Amino acid sequence: MSNHKEHPFNAVLVDGARIPFLKSGTDYNDLMAYDLGRMAIQGLLARNPIDPSSIDRVIMGNVIQEVRTSNIARESALGAGIPNSVPAFTIAMACISSNQAITSGVDLIRSGQANIILASGTETMSDIPIRFKKKFRQNVLAARKYKSPLEFLKFFKGLGFKDFLPELPAIAEFSTGETMGQSADRMAARFGVSRQDQDEFAMRSHHLAAKATKEGLLDEELIPAKVPPKFEVVNHDNGFREDTTMEKLGKLRPAFIKPHGTITAGNASFLTDGASACLIMEEQTALLLGLKPKAYIREYNFVSQDPGDELLLGPAYATPKVLETMNLALEDIDVFELHEAFAGQVLSVLNALDSQEFAKKSLQRDNKVGQIPMDKLNTLGGSLSLGHPFGATGVRLVTTAANRLIREDGTFALVSACAAGGQGHAVILERYK
């Protein structure tokens, strides 16, 4: 029986775009995440004939916050020329931040509170907030009360050499102390995913991204970035490696669990800078504006598991749930876009969905969900090759899925992603006809 609910207002994806995703430390090296977000929003608005003042809300995903632009959605919107009368808010939900930005927009439309939403995401890994240790920070704050120069000698009291060393944002899970790579390595072992399987999947991703770029299949979602101060134009992603081979990947050493781990720098997503933006509207509003929607945004969900044992397994729980809500099976889906944090993570999710044991023990189902066909999955590359700016990936996945539905003459697309904290997400798009 279908749990699919009819809503009084339908949310549709009108358009989605992104500036090229670049390896950190390259062309966006001197820019703030705010600059990237601003460029993505400007590019999207430039090609869609809507009055920016008619936007009801700007929602932006962002994970590693820059203190100066803590509500980066507001700053990027103002920087992009959206009138100051349009409210904006920022969402942090690790790798599914802009998925949540989209679905928050859908909720506002479905409840009749909004007609036009700009959902977006931005991230820079080239400039992350580095701070002093806590003891040093406490002494700095206490120093504000000092009156005389002599009092400043108190500043060094209790400080050791280590207190002067900078502190980087943690890459480990706060709740478990384990890094995502370590967790993915254990998960790959649990689901029988070998090093060779992972390297083959990574190579596939890189080759498909190179092919899609060469054939112009990503042009529809890409907007050129004009990088200040010289305003040189960046047209394409720069992280995919067309020349990668199994031999090259095979030479890389384990990155997290040494010496026997299977996850390497070659089969994991790399540090990326980038931003994306999309327009979501109430169906009738889009039609009145003379805009042809790409897809309906149908049912979606967010799930959470134990971050210790199943940190990146979210899609294996979210996928069956969203299919059931729509009364669909895997066979009914024409386009799959799965976030690729690690090759081992994607392959573990695929194995879990195709496992009778996982269905019974973890999903409380009699039958396994089934097999996702590789010829429908991430056919233009994925996060392993195109890059993964944490806050921006969700909008990329949804945009790519909608464009593929139209190009491939499909009906339904399924987008799913894992995220830090043991969380996950899935959403179904239906092509607009």
Question: What pLDDT does residue 1 have?
Answer: 41
Q: Tokens representing 151? A: 């009092």
Closest to 381 measured CA to CA, from 393, 391, 370, 392: 393
Does residue 278 have an active-site annotation? no
34 occurs within a structural domain? yes
CA pair distance 99, 61, nearest whole angstrom: 8
CA pair distance 99, 416, nearest whole angstrom: 9
Question: What pLDDT does residue 170 have?
Answer: 72
CA pair distance 320, 349, nearest whole angstrom: 12
Please tell me whether residue 353 adopts helix, strand or coil conformation. helix
Per residue in 329-378, pLDDT tens? 999 999 999 999 999 999 999 999 999 999 999 999 999 999 999 999 99
The number of C-alpha atoms within 13 Å of 156 and in the hemisphere containing its C-beta is 4
Which H or E run includes 301?
Answer: strand 295-304
CA pair distance 249, 200, nearest whole angstrom: 9
Which H or E run includes 49?
Answer: none
CA pair distance 406, 418, nearest whole angstrom: 25
Question: What pLDDT does residue 221 have?
Answer: 98
137 occurs within a structural domain? no
3-state helix, strand and coil shares in percent for the chain, rounded to the nearest 5? 40, 20, 40
Count how many domains the chain has: 1
CATH assignment of the domain containing 68: 3.40.47.10
Question: What pLDDT does residue 2 have?
Answer: 52
374-400 core/surface letters (b: 16 or more CB in 10 A; e: else): eebbbbbbbbbbbbbbbbbbbbbbbbb
Q: Which domain holds residue 287?
A: 11-128+269-431
138 occurs within a structural domain? no
Residues of the chain with pLDDT under 50: 1
36-48 core/surface letters (b: 16 or more CB in 10 A; e: else): bbbbbbbbbbeee
The number of C-alpha atoms within 13 Å of 415 and in the hemisphere containing its C-beta is 29
Residues 6+ apart with CB under 8 A from 319: 353, 369, 414, 416, 426
Catalytic residue among 95, 217, 401, 427: 95
Tell the residue number behind the tokens 């539905």, with chain if given.
405
207 occurs within a structural domain? no
Q: Tokens representing 142? A: 């206490």
Q: Tokens representing 216? A: 């112009």
Does residue 418 have an active-site annotation? yes
Task: Evaluate the CA torsion angle 373, 378, 380, 383 in order and state its sign.
Answer: negative
1 occurs within a structural domain? no
CA pair distance 151, 159, nearest whole angstrom: 15
β-bridge mates for residue 368, sequence order: none
156 occurs within a structural domain? no
Task: Evaluate the CA torsion angle 136, 141, 142, 145 in order and state its sign.
Answer: positive
Catalytic residue among 102, 114, 418, 429: 418
122 occurs within a structural domain? yes
Backbone angles phi, psi at 39, to 5 degrees: -65, -40
CA pair distance 108, 76, nearest whole angstrom: 21
Backbone angles phi, psi at 123, to 5 degrees: -160, 135
388 occurs within a structural domain? yes
